[in-house]
Amino acid sequence: MKLAHGAIPRLAVAVTAIVMSSAAQAQTSRYGALVDAPFEKDYPTADTARSLRDELIFQRATQAYLWALPAINIWAMKEGSEKVFGAGYNVLPVWKERITASTLVTTPNSDVVYAMGYLDLHKDGPLVVEAPQGVQGMFDDFFQRPLVGPTIDGRTWIGDVGLAGPDKGKGGTYVLLPPDYKGEPPKGSVPPGAFVYRSRTYNVFLFWRTFFSDPKDLAKPNAQIAATRIYPLGQKASAKPMQFPDANQQPADLLFPRDIRYFEMMSRFIDSEYVDPADLDMRGFLHTIGIEKGRPFAPTPDMRTLLDSAAQAGFKMSKVVITEMLAQEPGGKYYPDRQWVNVFAGEDTSFQSSHTFTNLEQRSGYFTSAYSASPGMVKNLVGAGAKYPVTFRDKDGHFLDGGQSYTLHLPPDIPAKNFWSATVYDATTASGLDNGQAHPSLNKMDQPVQNADGSTDLYFGPNAPAGHEKNWLRTVPGKGYFVIFRLYSPEKAFFDQTWKPGDLEKTS
């Protein structure tokens, strides 16, 4: 059969209209049932009351899920860490041979040495942290907001420690105060020259990163971390001895759940935490679903089923946000002609760049797939801090497929004063992709082979391209993944875009 001229475009329009009509009908059916739920003599029927109540609970639960992502992400890390390594201000797990895919946590960086600790300012009171020389670290509260530090020479320090912090990488002493601490610490209790930081939550996340130039020699970065000392204010002499367990020897699951256990975890978090007046409205959402400070979380079987569905739906919503909606936000793409997404488009750790609202899309998108934030990560700082372009799609706009092969072209003179790296992550969990390689990443220190013009091609796919094995990251057929291209101490060429990475291009 031969179609008349113009029939194909008309057919495409018709098919599109049918698809759109089907989607609209489904939406109308769902919401129309709510709008048209019957009332009798101005009051809801029993069936109407039940269906609208369930809908209210479901909606509040999904929004509570998204609101709490920063907190439950880090609370899951705390619980998972303490289950394996133990709890206490003196316990600082270290990934001494670089973090591998055996540790389940959102978007870890395999190209530095990590140390992550969880401090309880309610249980232990104000704590002193002696940060060693050479770390790039931070203190975040448990909504992953950087702690507010001192104002020095007109600048208020927020969260950063070490290279991007007030000690400028020389090492320094920090005093951490809980949210209900009134006034200043007693005279003589604060070590001379210490930087005082205040937290909005009782729980505080301590996160150190140290660097290396040779992946086979990690003695120095490990020694730097081992110089850390943590103790209650005024109690250095009687403090518990520090412990630095090797976290790669005991793989831990630090991921937050995606079902009813999310809300069970949320109840434990709420019970342990300071009540911030700024959170009272959202805590009202939690009250609706049975979560309240000082009250046991004991949902009925029907409520458990409803909340389990809400958690699963909330997780899927968060994935739609990060893969679809972030790129549509102002500044959401680094380059208009490429797929690289900017997860910190607002350059603000509170995701309030306009100061008129909180950008919940940016916040929930980020914290479903990552943890920790500090000014050094989000601000545009030439020659300092870091940048994290991320891509979920290939050059043609299709999601990355673990069964396909791709090439990423990096022009010469990659503008990273410290180093650059490319890492592959599981599209569902956002943990390092368990691809069978020692680390799911390639970095400058691995010395990948350069082309004659100084550019570098990286290869992604299930099989190594012949002759390019050193520049290859294995992917897993049947699994989606995404890529983060990190630049530590990015240089001017990155910011003025005289240097731009290519997109991942499908190859045969």
Query: Read out DSSP for 24-54?
Result: HHHHHHHHHHHHT--EETTEE-HHHHHHHHH
Element at 95 (helix H, strand E): strand 94-95
Determine contact, residues 404/506, Cβ cutoff 8 Å: yes
Instruction: Tell me the C-alpha to C-alpha distance, in Å, between residue 228 and each of 199, 203, 211, 250, 349.
Output: 20, 19, 16, 21, 26
d(CA 471, CA 446): 9
Percent of the chain with pLDDT over 70: 94
**What would the DSSP string read from start to end of 120-170?**
ETTTS-SEEEEEPTT-EEEEEETTSPBPEEEEETTEEEESEEETTSTTTTS
Domain ranges in the chain?
A: 70-249, 260-314, 380-507
Q: Is 62 helix (H, G, I), strand (E, B) or coil?
A: helix
**Chain segment 259-290, per-residue pLDDT in tens:** 999 999 999 999 999 999 999 999 999 999 99
Whether the CB-CB separation of 394 and 504 falls below 8 Å is answered with yes
Please report, in tens digits, the pLDDT of each residue of the chain (508 residues total).
444 444 444 444 444 444 445 655 666 677 888 999 999 999 999 999 999 999 999 999 999 999 999 999 999 999 999 999 999 999 999 999 999 999 999 999 999 999 999 999 999 999 999 999 999 999 999 999 999 999 999 999 999 999 889 999 999 999 999 999 998 898 889 999 999 999 999 999 999 999 999 999 999 999 999 999 999 999 999 999 999 999 999 999 999 999 999 999 999 999 999 999 999 999 999 999 999 999 999 999 999 999 999 999 999 999 999 999 999 988 999 999 999 999 998 889 999 877 789 999 999 999 999 999 888 888 888 988 889 999 999 999 999 999 999 999 999 999 999 999 999 999 999 999 999 999 999 999 999 999 999 999 999 999 999 999 999 999 999 999 999 999 999 999 999 999 999 999 999 7
Topology alike, domains 70-249 and 380-507 = no
Q: What are 35-47's pLDDT values in tens digits?
A: 999 999 999 999 9
Looking at CATH, the fold of the domain delimited by 70-249 is given as Immunoglobulin-like (2.60.40)
> What is d(CA 21, CA 148) in angstroms, rounded to the nearest whole number?
51
The alpha carbons of the chain give a radius of gyration, in whole angstroms, of 25
Class of domain 380-507: mainly beta
Please classify residue 19 by burial: count the beta carbons closer than 10 Å to its beta carbon, then call 0-12 exposed, 13-18 middle and 19+ buried: exposed
Q: Judge contact between 286 and 295, C-beta under 8 A.
A: no
Amino acid at 67: W
The CATH architecture of the domain made up of 260-314 is Orthogonal Bundle (1.10)
